[in-house]
Amino acid sequence: MDRIITVEGVKKTIFGSGSIKRLGEECKALGAKRAIIIADKALAGTTIVTDSLEALKSASIEVIPYFEVLPEPAPSLADAAAAIASKEAADCVVGIGGGSTMDVAKAAAVLTKNPGSATDYIGLGLVKNPGLPSVMVPTTAGTGSEVTFTAVFTMRESKSKGGINSPYLYPSLAILDPELTLSLPPYPTAYTGMDALTHAIESYTSLQAHFLSETQSLSAIELISGNLRGAVYDGSNMIYREGMLKGSYQAGLGLAMAGVGAVHALAYPLGALFNIPHGIANATLLPFVMAYNYPGNTEKFAMIAQALGEGIDGLSMREAASKAASAVAQLSKDIGIPASLKELQIPVEAIPEMAQGAMKVARPLANNPRPVTVDSAAEIYRLAFKG
Ligand SMILES: [Fe+2]
């Protein structure tokens, strides 16, 4: 190994069915007396939130609700949550939901201790002070936000997306309770699961990958490919849900250590220009970017094909590697992911603007196993348009 590796991450993880019941005592252990609970409106009335509130109240923790999160959140939502947290003297932030909610919660936690707005901190390493203790409770097996140092926002005025990236965003605690994912309907199960698979594949093939990240990423690919169809078609089956939450968690760890690649870079303009949810954008683009990327690292893509359940005995490395993209395309098809940008109603004329937009997502592109130019980005979009 020719480089020095540093690993940071979420401080504590609790995994298991029924672990949400520990929310109150764990917040108390973090010193909490008044916790702001961040969720979206749809989740607010569900037993997931009412059980969480109950767990906090039974630990004598006062609850400040903020149930205003919207998909692909604007930075103003984090500003608003932080303002309420400060006004109400909250001493802990709890985010319950998918990636959008956890990103708002992570940002709000640091904004209570750093002046200005979330937009001031979009970039890498701009947050100066640690925030309030934060607890993340994912209700989808997808984003991995509960273990990463990133909070992504959509700036609709400038039609762009960007992330706050700072070690201060690592949560104090992640509680992963697979029971909370049981009620997720099939389609969001499918596309959030494909987002997790994208994290696993992109972190595994990232130029920043290393011996610790690779084991997490490859295990995640196996877990997700082995459980995603089941989670979509038999969503009340705990075995599939647990497998998916383990997979998305490991994919999140891989991503936290090694970053993501061109799928995420090319997906950002779909969200910023056309409001396509992050998971759907990634899921639709993933097989096309893999087909472009595999010559960049045939050995790793052959390993991915094997982890996806493809038989590779007797094949050359190149042949084995080429099976990875088709295996993902088949998985996408089986679970109802749109097969093309055309199906997502993206206009073909937008491709040049999208390619320009993707090139601005510099960090993921720098990790990609094969260099991506504006022309190759446009070509990937064209192929993805046709399907
Ligand atoms: Fe993602």
Q: Separation of 270 CA from ligand 1 center, angstroms? A: 13
Element (H, E) at 255: helix 238-258
Q: Separation of 144 CA from ligand 1 center, angstroms? A: 8
Q: Tell me the C-alpha distance between 322 and 326, whole Å.
A: 7
Q: Separation of 230 CA from ligand 1 center, angstroms? A: 21
Q: Separation of 330 CA from ligand 1 center, angstroms? A: 20
Q: Separation of 62 CA from ligand 1 center, angstroms? A: 33
* pLDDT of the residue at 159: 84
Q: Tell me the C-alpha distance between 184 and 349, whole Å.
A: 35
CA distances (Å), origin 189, targets 49, 73, 136: 19, 20, 19
Q: Tell me the C-alpha distance between 107 and 82, whole Å.
A: 8
* pLDDT of the residue at 31: 97
333 contact partners, CB below 8 Å, separation of at least 6 = 339
Q: Separation of 193 CA from ligand 1 center, angstroms? A: 10
Q: Tell me the C-alpha distance between 12 and 18, whole Å.
A: 17
Is 13-181's fold the same as 186-386's? no
Q: Separation of 313 CA from ligand 1 center, angstroms? A: 32
**13-181, which class in CATH?**
alpha beta
Q: Tell me the C-alpha distance between 77 and 208, whole Å.
A: 32
Q: Separation of 198 CA from ligand 1 center, angstroms? A: 7
**186-386, which class in CATH?**
mainly alpha
**Domain regions of the chain by residue span:** 13-181, 186-386
Digit-by-digit pLDDT tens for the chain (387 residues) are 678 999 999 999 999 999 999 999 999 999 999 999 999 999 998 999 999 999 999 999 999 999 999 999 999 999 999 999 999 999 999 999 999 999 999 999 999 999 999 999 999 999 999 999 999 999 999 999 999 999 999 998 888 889 999 999 999 999 999 999 999 999 999 999 999 999 999 999 999 999 999 999 999 999 999 999 999 999 999 999 999 999 999 999 999 999 999 999 999 999 999 999 999 999 999 999 999 999 999 999 999 999 999 999 999 999 999 999 999 999 999 999 999 999 999 999 999 999 999 999 989 999 999 999 999 999 999 999 998
Q: What is the 3-state secondary structure (H, E, C) of 176-242?
A: ECHHHHCCCCHHHHHHHHHHHHHHHHHHHHCCCCCHHHHHHHHHHHHHHHHHHHHHHHCCCCHHHHH
367 contact partners, CB below 8 Å, separation of at least 6 = 202, 206, 207, 208, 258, 259, 260, 261
Q: Separation of 143 CA from ligand 1 center, angstroms? A: 6
Q: Separation of 253 CA from ligand 1 center, angstroms? A: 12
Q: Separation of 289 CA from ligand 1 center, angstroms? A: 14
Integer Rg of the chain from CA: 20
* pLDDT of the residue at 1: 60
* pLDDT of the residue at 161: 87
* pLDDT of the residue at 160: 86
Q: Tell me the C-alpha distance between 338 and 88, whole Å.
A: 44
